[in-house]
Structure 1
Amino acid sequence: MFKKPTLRILGNLSTTGDGVFQALNDDPQMQLLPSAGDRNSGLKRGSYYLFVNIRTFEGKILRPTLYLDFGGGMSEAQGSKFVAKRIDGDRWFFHFSARRNIKLLRFDPSESPCRFSVEDIVLVSSTKLHCAKVKAALKDLIHQFLPSYQSQTGRTSQSETFDISNLANMSMNGRNEHQDLDQQRLKLFESEYNSRVYTSKDGRHYYEYAGLATDPLGNVSKNVKSIAFYLPQMHPIPENDAWWGRGFTEWANVSKAVPRFSGHYQPRLPGELGFYDLRCVETMRRQVELANIYGLSAFCFYYYWFSGHRLLERPLDMFLSNQDLQLDFCVCWANENWTRRWDGLESDILISQKHSEQDSEAVFNDWLRYFQDKRYIKVDGKPLLLIYRPDLIPDFERTTRTWREMARNAGYRGLHIVAANAFGNQELSVAGLDGLYEFPPHNVRVPHVDASLTWFEGNHKTHAFSYGDAVQFAETQHESAADEPVTIHPGALVGWDTEARKPGRGDVMVGSNPTLFRRWLSSAYRKALRSGPNAPKLVFINAWNEWAEGAYLEPDRRHGYGYLTALRSVVREFGLESSTLKSYCDSHNATSQDPKSKAIILHLFYADLIDEFADRIEAAQRIIDADIILTVPELWTLQELEEAVHKLAPRKVFVASNVGRDVYPFILACRNVVKDGYTHVCKIHSKKSTHRVDGAAWRNDLVAGLLSNDALALLERTYFPDSTYSLAAPANSFLPLGNNEYIAGNRIHYDALVQMFGIGPYDDREFVAGTMFWCRFDALTPIFDCALSDVDFGVDLGQVDGTLAHAFERVFAMVSSQQGGNLYKIDTSFEFNIKRPI
């Protein structure tokens, strides 16, 4: 009735022969054979459930994943990768659907090294759930896999994860889709339409969307120079007016792009900067400001020269003439012919290159004014010059000798010349080049994933690739590049989608997001740092603003400042050094006085709010006798930490990794003071919520609702003396968990925490929005004692929702009640400014 698949080792695994596997690294892989022993057995199209019981002996199981191969190889593309949901303890399940036959399946049991055994594995087709016998057998199977869940709740869950009838309904829907193609297409277009309506109403993908950073970059050393390519195109010029129509800019292409398959992110809509015009210096001033906020080192301006005729020169010259634009820069001569390739007519030349000895001297004389600017990047006293296609320049070695001699005559030590690692440039003699720069997607070799997508047109000419595959390819290349015959500076690609320029016949990398981009960029940084001690450590990013190619760091409507936040995260990862801060904290904590019975635990992320919180806490301490426990991020300077300690006078202070928002620092602080005997603690933090226009008002309301004179007087009379209360928060900050909108993108993390802490039905429960509250210290013991570390909270990319920290926000109140105790709603005469605090 059910299939009992077998598993065979593919890679990164060893076995002792007794059914126990050892994951050798964080990427163990196994082939899943639906029919025992048959390597050629696949699955017919349809919808399936895979239940698996994994017993762990060492380490822990992290994100079991299933990959489907439809004949084009395994990928992370939409519809090919499925992450397991935890049922309880060692039990997991997958639900996956396929509109085509599946050739192969791969099971990755964990993303972390561990030792484990697969105790049971069952595969069932959900299309058979309407059969009474199968349905009954599946019910027994569900009970087998869910004993603890059933015993805790005493009823069947209302979520589709565990409700058998819901599974059957899902199966019927899947069967109908296969039987009725017209209905399937209708649902598909309806889904895409609703997605675009959601965007038009300023809807955001909160798990990817990051608000504007308002904190300083931090005390980082820029030991790697990150350089983003800058397209100076977004303004009209006479030539483009003649070739493409009056007023043409790249925005004309960007705005008319349409999606070609389900989930295709088109059109790309700009965020804060809008559809800008690069004749406006205020736009460039804000671009430079954003680059500095997020840690970008430099712009590399594309430079267009055609035998003395310049194109798109205005933004670069405007940058040169405005010395207040404090950002390093260099130029890349894009020395190709301009053709009508956007129309598919590559042979129709609009303006051509005519390389000659005289032209080489003339173009250098034009570069010289940029080289002389103090912001221009120099490598060992040599201006950095990028040439896109040196293979197009006759006798390139002689040309470079001429340029180097002209540079020395101008007072420099020469030129540092690099070319794109493409077009056979690696074969050029090293006498003409000082190195190459990676320029993805060039030289990124990954398979098509066209077959895994649901296309709107059957005769499309667009080709799709997996961005996740590209990241893995780049990581492998960067790790194996120890003995390169010529220096290759690493690069990273933000994204890739040429639909805007080549409607219906472009290339697109599906699945790009800030988290994956961070992986790629981090890999590039590691490669740069492995270069020799005297080698320039440069990383090239494609790109700052290539909107028509889907390669841009600039904020957009879907991701907000997500890609910029990923950049900043990498800059901090490789540039922060916090040992001085931690030594200071250790010295301070060694002199701490005996604890009081209560403590205010403050995570002060923003140093510019030191005075605000010092004033608020000083006023509160006139009413209540409480210690201050302070946590600060590792990106602070020592001077900022000393100022905070002087003004806030904390009993203890700890440096917390920049993960888990305010949640992990709170857990860290509680673990460090668990033996100090506190009966009650107040959790507050320096919340800004930059994605909201009322973020500061929300913070002030939440803190005042806990520490105002009226609130503290009420707590002293009613809450602290009564041990039946476990947690207290302003009445207006309680929201119902039964409202799905408040769970939204947190569902996966939230369900995992519910299972971890053994929380029963929660539909009629409430949570504290904003994560600020008073609590009885012992009521949150399960949270302090849990095995989660900073690694589990992952890298913080500024997402406004959907992280583990956001899921924790929704369980604090329930965990405290689970330990025995009622919730106390602080209701004073204080009026909240915020009417919907979420």
Structure 2
Amino acid sequence: MLGGGLIALDMKSESNDLPKLAMMTKKYSRYAVRLVSLIMNGQIIATIRGIIAYIGVPPVIDNCIAVPLDYAIDKWETPPHIAVICHMYYPDMADEFRGYLLNIPYSFDLFITTDTKEKQLDIQNGFAQWRKGHVDVHVVPNRGRDIAPKLVACKDVYGQYEYFLHIHTKKSPHAESLGEWRTYLLQNLLGSEALVYSVFEAFRVDPDLGMIAPPHYKTLHKRVGWGLNFKQGKDIAMRMGISISKQRSIDFPSGSMFWGRSAALKPLLDCNFMLEEFPAEKKQKDETLAHVIERIYFYSCEKAGFRWVKIVNIIEQNGHIKSAKIDNSEDLKKFIAKGSGLL
């Protein structure tokens, strides 16, 4: 027997009720057709599976360093050697990203990937007057979102630079609640020149610091887990020579934007991913190799012998974040030393 959208008709109803009942029947019939469509293409089942996968996952409290740091920071006498690796699927965001990149107070080389020749030309024109370093824009297949371009197409970049920044023109069209996620990530990584100075102060005071990431976005901190990605995650972990457990807590740079020391990425790079391992783009919401690798970044960092830490721009704080205002380098080093611990 059908439920939900079924309307029971009382044959004794007054005749003037019939138009109203007809309208209601038409309305709920549309819902029924839509429901059948969603079931047939698998969206309902996928959504339910996704929700169930996160049941019981405790909300995450992000312990972060408030940035900019609360003390004067000297510019490095020998500038850090930096590669910014940016996947620009949406070239209309080039101006926005240019503005954020201007907050990096050091010169750096910029490696941009995109998926068509037309986009490549648009991006090259947008960065034609760039003066902070070399700009390389190349075309890659539309596989693996931003992850495959960074780990496959740009694999050889990391050996030439001590530090890197991963960013991309992120959109989440499937969820209105994530509309500001990109801005949130960029504000926490590149929100001001003083903030970027603070990033490199953290790298300076602790040579064992491997990755620096933003906290989870406000609508995501209750869903920080493996979800349906654990089986693939376990396989990737084995390729890296580590063991992971579903019973242990997990953390990762959700959104896949973060600063890093290139050596901290080596265990992942040594997996020698092939482009064909990443599925063709079909607007997948979860369960792809890209979603798995997003959850593996901090494991790679620890496997390589480094620590990781989270930072939060003072203007971006909210309820699930505990931030520490730090006013000296010794306290900064102590805070960093307390973090990590996935392995």
Q: TM-score range by the shorter chain?
A: 0.5 to 0.7
Give the aligned residue type for 2:232. Answer: H
Q: Which residue of 2 aligns with 1:417?
A: none
- Deviation of 1:656 (Å): 1.7
1:735·1:768 contact (CA, 8 Å) conserved in 2?
Answer: no
1:706·1:773 contact (CA, 8 Å) conserved in 2?
Answer: yes
Alignment partner of 1:779 is 2:237: no
Q: 1:686 aligns with which of 169, 172, 180?
A: 169
C-alpha distance 733-767 of structure 1, shift in aligned 2 (>3 A): farther
Give the aligned residue type for 2:116. Answer: E
Q: Which residue of 2 aligns with 1:641?
A: 123
Aligned-partner Cα distance in 1 for 2:146–2:24? 47
- Deviation of 1:695 (Å): 3.0
Aligned-partner Cα distance in 1 for 2:258–2:117? 26
C-alpha distance 253-699 of structure 1, shift in aligned 2 (>3 A): closer
Q: Which residue of 2 aligns with 1:629?
A: 111
> SS in structure 2 opposite 1:742?
coil
Mark the runs of 5 or more structure 1 residues left unpaired by the alignment.
1-192, 197-240, 258-265, 272-494, 496-511, 514-555, 561-594
Q: 1:703 aligns with which of 179, 186, 196?
A: 186
Give the aligned residue type for 2:298. Answer: A
Aligned-partner Cα distance in 1 for 2:80–2:139? 22
- Deviation of 1:757 (Å): 1.6
Alignment partner of 1:601 is 2:85: yes
Which whole-Å deviations, capped at 9, do the CAs of 1:673-694 have from their partners, x for residues lacking one? Answer: 244x200101111111122324
1:735·1:767 contact (CA, 8 Å) conserved in 2?
Answer: no
2:117·2:139 contact (CA, 8 Å) conserved in 1?
Answer: no
C-alpha distance 784-268 of structure 1, shift in aligned 2 (>3 A): same
Q: 2:280 aligns with which of 795, 798, 810?
A: 795
Alignment partner of 1:758 is 2:241: yes
C-alpha distance 255-641 of structure 1, shift in aligned 2 (>3 A): closer
Which whole-Å deviations, capped at 9, do the CAs of 1:53-111 have from their partners, x for residues lacking one? Answer: xxxxxxxxxxxxxxxxxxxxxxxxxxxxxxxxxxxxxxxxxxxxxxxxxxxxxxxxxxx
Give the aligned residue type for 1:755. Answer: M
- Deviation of 1:726 (Å): 0.9
- Deviation of 1:252 (Å): 5.8
> SS in structure 1 opposite 2:114?
strand
1:719·1:725 contact (CA, 8 Å) conserved in 2?
Answer: yes
C-alpha distance 641-831 of structure 1, shift in aligned 2 (>3 A): closer
C-alpha distance 803-270 of structure 1, shift in aligned 2 (>3 A): closer
Q: TM-score, normalised by structure 1?
A: 0.29
Alignment of 1:290-309 (within 5 A): none
Aligned-partner Cα distance in 2 for 1:611–1:601? 16
Q: Which residue of 1 aligns with 2:213?
A: 729
- Deviation of 1:646 (Å): 1.8
1:628·1:648 contact (CA, 8 Å) conserved in 2?
Answer: no
Alignment of 1:462-501 (within 5 A): none
1:734·1:768 contact (CA, 8 Å) conserved in 2?
Answer: no
Give the aligned residue type for 2:126. Answer: A
- Deviation of 1:775 (Å): 1.0
Give the aligned residue type for 2:112. Answer: L
Which whole-Å deviations, capped at 9, do the CAs of 1:399-423 have from their partners, x for residues lacking one? Answer: xxxxxxxxxxxxxxxxxxxxxxxxx
> SS in structure 1 opposite 2:285?
coil
Q: Larger C-alpha radius of gyration, 1 or 2?
A: 1
C-alpha distance 768-734 of structure 1, shift in aligned 2 (>3 A): farther
Aligned-partner Cα distance in 2 for 1:625–1:735? 35
Aligned-partner Cα distance in 2 for 1:256–1:599? 52
Alignment partner of 1:665 is 2:149: yes
Aligned-partner Cα distance in 1 for 2:303–2:187? 27
Aligned-partner Cα distance in 2 for 1:800–1:736? 14
- Deviation of 1:752 (Å): 1.8
1:750·1:807 contact (CA, 8 Å) conserved in 2?
Answer: yes
Q: 1:744 aligns with which of 227, 231, 251?
A: 227
Q: Which residue of 2 aligns with 1:812?
A: 297
- Deviation of 1:626 (Å): 2.1
Q: Which has the higher helix share?
A: 2
Alignment of 1:379-398 (within 5 A): none
C-alpha distance 648-786 of structure 1, shift in aligned 2 (>3 A): farther
1:632·1:656 contact (CA, 8 Å) conserved in 2?
Answer: yes
> SS in structure 2 opposite 1:767?
coil
Give the aligned residue type for 1:613. Answer: F
Q: 1:717 aligns with which of 181, 195, 201?
A: 201
- Deviation of 1:744 (Å): 1.2
Give the aligned residue type for 1:615. Answer: G
> SS in structure 1 opposite 2:128?
helix
Aligned-partner Cα distance in 1 for 2:92–2:272? 33
Mark the runs of 5 or more structure 2 residues left unpaired by the alignment.
5-17, 48-78, 322-343
Q: TM-score, normalised by structure 2?
A: 0.66
Alignment of 1:274-423 (within 5 A): none
Q: Which residue of 2 aligns with 1:268?
A: 36
Which whole-Å deviations, capped at 9, do the CAs of 1:104-125 have from their partners, x for residues lacking one? Answer: xxxxxxxxxxxxxxxxxxxxxx
- Point out 4+ residue stretches in structure 1 off by more than 3 angstroms: 245-257, 556-560, 635-639, 647-650, 731-737, 832-836
The RMSD of aligned alpha carbons is 3.8
> SS in structure 2 opposite 1:750?
helix
2:202·2:209 contact (CA, 8 Å) conserved in 1?
Answer: no
Aligned-partner Cα distance in 2 for 1:615–1:680? 20
> SS in structure 1 opposite 2:314?
coil
- Deviation of 1:751 (Å): 2.2
Aligned-partner Cα distance in 2 for 1:734–1:768? 13
Aligned-partner Cα distance in 2 for 1:730–1:698? 11
- Deviation of 1:638 (Å): 5.1
C-alpha distance 801-835 of structure 1, shift in aligned 2 (>3 A): farther
C-alpha distance 596-657 of structure 1, shift in aligned 2 (>3 A): farther
Aligned-partner Cα distance in 2 for 1:787–1:718? 30
Aligned-partner Cα distance in 1 for 2:182–2:153? 21
C-alpha distance 557-269 of structure 1, shift in aligned 2 (>3 A): farther
Give the aligned residue type for 2:181. Answer: W
1:735·1:766 contact (CA, 8 Å) conserved in 2?
Answer: no
C-alpha distance 735-778 of structure 1, shift in aligned 2 (>3 A): farther
> SS in structure 2 opposite 1:631?
strand
Q: Which has the higher strand share?
A: 1
- Deviation of 1:250 (Å): 7.6
C-alpha distance 625-639 of structure 1, shift in aligned 2 (>3 A): closer
Give the aligned residue type for 1:743. Answer: W
Aligned-partner Cα distance in 2 for 1:712–1:722? 16
1:254·1:268 contact (CA, 8 Å) conserved in 2?
Answer: no
- Deviation of 1:766 (Å): 1.9
Aligned-partner Cα distance in 2 for 1:821–1:631? 28
Percent sequence identity over aligned pairs: 24
- Deviation of 1:651 (Å): 2.8
C-alpha distance 625-830 of structure 1, shift in aligned 2 (>3 A): farther
1:601·1:669 contact (CA, 8 Å) conserved in 2?
Answer: no
1:634·1:656 contact (CA, 8 Å) conserved in 2?
Answer: yes
- Deviation of 1:827 (Å): 4.2
Which whole-Å deviations, capped at 9, do the CAs of 1:465-507 have from their partners, x for residues lacking one? Answer: xxxxxxxxxxxxxxxxxxxxxxxxxxxxxx6xxxxxxxxxxxx
2:94·2:123 contact (CA, 8 Å) conserved in 1?
Answer: no
* Bigger relative contact order, structure 1 or 2 (CA pairs below 8 A, ≥6 apart): 2
Alignment of 1:487-636 (within 5 A): 513=42, 597-618=81-102, 620-621=103-104, 623-634=105-116, 636=118
Aligned-partner Cα distance in 2 for 1:254–1:735? 31
